[in-house]
């Protein structure tokens, strides 16, 4: 997803101009956000690091000392995307409090408007100076950024962010260990645990890594010690016992489902050939079902859920969709069949068949919340087919939801009021027609002289990044107040995020019943 983010190199210049243009008398505060979450780790994380940290020696060998600069790593400043890519000023967080920013990141939804998901992922991965205000502990903002990515199942960028920071902090390592397990790097996670003297592993984590490394006697000894000390719940002890010696339980029935499944318990169940069903599981765990080991149906469900959250690229979703031929009907099988039929018609260059298959395929994708991903895959291909009438209108609608939206608007003549509005938005031109309250709010945001917006106070008080996070929350709620949505679009356009603003407006306008 990050590859599709637009740079905003003129942020400071545009913000300065926009701020001077506002009426100095009218200060509109941002919308009030109810019950922002506190700084709690995701419930599905494995219990792998003792809390509080136990200063327990794991070896009698002389410790190795490493001298580092005092300012070696500032967790809250760690990022993957430099300013040359994002166009964001280094001091984007400005005078905002780290605790407020962390709570705003944790409040971001796992799914929602794709343009808003893109914006918040960019903010989570950007290299920025830590906020100047607040008494939050060092690293709280970093953990909140990580947890937003993990909640969406975006494991690869989350892992890269932790590797850039170095998983030495116990809470960062806890997330690093789980993500490594979920993407199939369990050995690496265990080696990192062994090499990190600041990490005191729990008994289950130690047992898993000892067994993984082939030291089964030490793993069994640790298990016995943990049982003697009462460190295991009964269900946890039963799982570990089977993990260490599955032959003792031959003939016994499978373990009951675990309502609080974690990556560590998932890996142990996998090791004893009792792969859990991940239907409805947190998106971070669902990522494991992208593997061919999960079976095609599980892959399809995982690909759909992770595409809606923006965690996987549309190309990966499409590759899974077209990897086999559906052997059943109903639900996901009908969606797969519709998309494969359209794909086959396009490969054959049969315009009549494309026109016949397109409405059904798009309807399935729109109802499944996959219209934007579908458009990303098919928009370019549809433009090479001579489609007319309703099929041509639908093909242009799909194109407007794709990265080539501006080219679509410049290469065709609008046939309906909705299309005229969409073409104007796609080109950043004033919108002359409007329908309901949401359409009117969008039209106001794309007018020649947009009115003052409720984010002016945040911009004037050096809290631009905070304003972006507020706006992303507003845009993610399609049923929210149209006036708030309009203000969010005005903000994005005013600071140079024109591409994100246009994509958000087009998705709000078009990603619904045709």
Residues 242, 220 contacting (CB under 8 angstroms): no
pLDDT for position 270? 93
Spatial separation of the C-alpha atoms in residues 33 and 153, rounded to whole Å: 25
Q: CB neighbours of 185 closer than 8 A, spacing ≥ 6?
A: none
Express each pLDDT in 372-394 by its tens digit.
999 999 999 999 999 999 999 99
Cis check: omega of the bond before 52, within 30 degrees of 0: yes
Instruction: Reply yes or no on whether the pLDDT at 497 is more than 50.
Output: yes
Poorest-confidence range of 40-44, 225-229, 341-345, 426-430? Answer: 40-44
Q: Which residues of 51-70 are buried (b: 16+ CB within 10 A; e: fewer)?
A: eeeeeeeeeeeeeeeeeeee
191/24: higher pLDDT: 191
**Percent of all residues in the chain with a pLDDT value above 70, rounded to a whole number:** 87
pLDDT band at residue 258 using 50, 70 and 90 as cut-offs = very high
Q: Is the pLDDT assigned to residue 54 strictly greater than 80?
A: no
Q: Decide: helix, strand or coil at residue 233.
A: coil
Q: Any idea which of 135-139, 328-332, 474-478 has the lowest mean pLDDT?
A: 135-139
pTM: 0.88
The better pLDDT of the pair 220, 200 is held by 220
What pLDDT is attached to residue 282? 95
Contact 171, 139 (CB under 8 A): yes
195 vs 513: CA distance, rounded Å: 55
Q: CB neighbours (10 Å) of residue 510?
A: 23
Pair of tokens at residue 483: 């006036």
For residue 1, what pLDDT is reported? Answer: 43
Q: Which of 93-102, 130-139, 228-237, 288-297 has the lowest mean pLDDT?
A: 130-139
In the block, residue with structure tokens 């740079």? 7
Exposed e or buried b per residue across 254-272, where buried means at least 16 C-beta atoms within 10 angstroms of its C-beta:
ebeeeeebbbbbbbbbbbb
SS3 of residue 277 by DSSP: coil
Average pLDDT score over residue span 26-50? 72
């Amino acid at each position: 997803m990050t590859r599709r983010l637009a740079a905003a190199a003129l942020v400071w210049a545009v913000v300065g101009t926009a701020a001077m243009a506002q009426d100095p008398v009218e200060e509109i505060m941002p919308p009030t956000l109810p019950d922002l979450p506190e700084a709690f780790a995701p419930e599905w994380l494995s219990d792998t690091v003792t809390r509080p940290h136990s200063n327990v020696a794991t070896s009698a060998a002389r410790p190795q000392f490493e001298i580092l600069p005092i300012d070696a790593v500032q967790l809250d400043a760690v990022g993957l995307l430099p300013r040359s890519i994002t166009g964001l000023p280094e001091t984007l967080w400005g005078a905002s409090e780290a605790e407020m920013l962390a709570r705003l990141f944790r409040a971001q939804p796992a799914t929602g408007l794709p343009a808003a998901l893109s914006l918040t992922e960019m903010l989570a991965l950007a290299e920025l100076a830590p906020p100047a205000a607040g008494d939050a502990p060092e690293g709280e903002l970093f953990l909140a950024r990580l947890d937003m990515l993990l909640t969406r199942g975006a494991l690869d960028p989350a892992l890269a962010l932790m590797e850039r920071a170095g998983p030495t902090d116990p809470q960062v390592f806890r997330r690093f260990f789980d993500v490594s397990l979920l993407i199939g790097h369990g050995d690496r996670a265990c080696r990192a645990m062994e090499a990190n003297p600041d990490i005191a592993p729990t008994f289950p984590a130690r047992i898993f890594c000892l067994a993984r490394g082939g030291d089964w006697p030490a793993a069994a000894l640790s298990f016995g010690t943990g049982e003697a000390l009462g460190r295991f719940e009964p269900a946890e002890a039963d799982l570990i016992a089977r993990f260490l010696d599955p032959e003792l339980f031959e003939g016994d029935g499978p373990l009951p489902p675990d309502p609080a499944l974690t990556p560590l318990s998932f890996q142990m169940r996998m090791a004893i050939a009792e792969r859990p069903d991940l239907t409805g599981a947190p998106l971070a765990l669902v990522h494991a079902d992208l593997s061919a080991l999960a079976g095609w149906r599980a892959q399809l469900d995982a690909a759909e859920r992770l595409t809606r959250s923006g965690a996987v690229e549309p190309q990966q979703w499409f590759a899974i969709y077209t990897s086999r031929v559906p052997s059943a009907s109903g639900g996901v099988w009908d969606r797969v069949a519709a998309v494969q039929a359209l794909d086959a018609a396009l490969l054959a260059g049969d315009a009549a068949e494309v026109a016949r298959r397109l409405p059904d395929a798009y309807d399935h994708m729109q109802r499944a919340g996959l219209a934007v991903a579908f458009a990303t895959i098919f928009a370019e291909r549809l433009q090479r087919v001579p489609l007319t009438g309703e099929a041509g209108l639908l093909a242009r609608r799909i194109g407007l939801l794709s990265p080539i939206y501006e080219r679509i608007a410049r290469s065709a003549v609008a046939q309906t009021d909705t299309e005229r509005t969409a073409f104007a938005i796609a080109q950043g031109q004033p919108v002359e027609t409007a329908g309901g309250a949401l359409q009117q709010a969008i039209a106001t945001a794309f007018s020649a002289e947009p009115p003052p917006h409720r984010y002016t106070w945040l911009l004037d008080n050096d809290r631009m990044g905070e304003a972006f996070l507020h706006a992303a929350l507003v845009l993610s709620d399609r049923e929210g107040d149209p006036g708030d949505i309009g203000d969010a679009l005005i903000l994005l356009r005013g600071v140079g995020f024109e591409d994100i603003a246009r994509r958000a407006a087009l998705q709000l306008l078009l990603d619904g019943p045709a």
